[in-house]
Structure 1
């Protein structure tokens, strides 16, 4: 797709991330969701107007607040389609975890997307953890 006649080709990208929460409270979840989304925007140089949708999944031990309600309060996220779901429970899986799957429209020549795994969620995908 060429955008606005300026000759830029665009592509739909899927970006993933996850973060763990210290406790099941609204404050702890707000801090974690904000940290995760800030990192995703920063590391991928995202303009929120290019974010099409974001699905948050939470482990069954988190129910203090909807992560989408937190994200909805961010500047320029008013047109992002947001959804919350409960992550499938598997015995022994990482507790107190919030995951995100974002769909974004970016130029084809955009640098490779960076998936973000923070705090205890680093153990989910150590191959994707960015250090430094």
Structure 2
């Protein structure tokens, strides 16, 4: 089991803007990680408090194969000065330990984790821990 992180931003609090951003984010996630919905264990989406037009999970369920994936939407904790209109996800999925994970940060959210712009290989301690699970 592996964890994948990602985030994006939207230009406005509207259904159309959120649908466009979530679909773009998940397209990139699936493509870069060769991820199929049947490999996904669960998804947690979080949104900043300025986004309430639609649930990201409702958008994701429109995707082929995603309607059976357990998903949860939550509100991101507010911190003064933090990135606005941001949608984040944490996905747990079955992916081979030998394959690098590509975390997906798009639009203004790319500045959240510039250190994750490259694939994340497992550290030796992580691969040992995962082989015991």
TM-score band (shorter)? 0.7 to 0.9
TM-score (norm 1): 0.87
Secondary structure at the aligned position of 1:95 is classed as: coil
After TM superposition, the structure 1 stretch with the greater mean CA deviation from structure 2, 72-81 or 17-26, is 72-81
1:94 and 1:108 map into 2 onto residues whose CA distance is 32
5+ residue gaps, structure 1:
1-11
Residue correspondence of structure 1 range 102-121 to structure 2 within 5 A: 102-109=91-98, 111-121=99-109
Question: Structure 2 length normalisation: TM-score?
Answer: 0.86
1:18 aligned to 2:7? Answer: yes
More helix by share: 2
CA drift at 1:129? 2.2
Bigger proportion of residues as strand: 1
- Residues 13-32 of structure 1: CA deviation (Å, up to 9, x unaligned): 00000000000000000000
Gaps of 5+ in 2: 119-133
Off by >4 Å, runs of 4+ in structure 1: none
Give the count of matched residue pairs.
Answer: 118
Is 1:80–2:80 an aligned residue pair? no
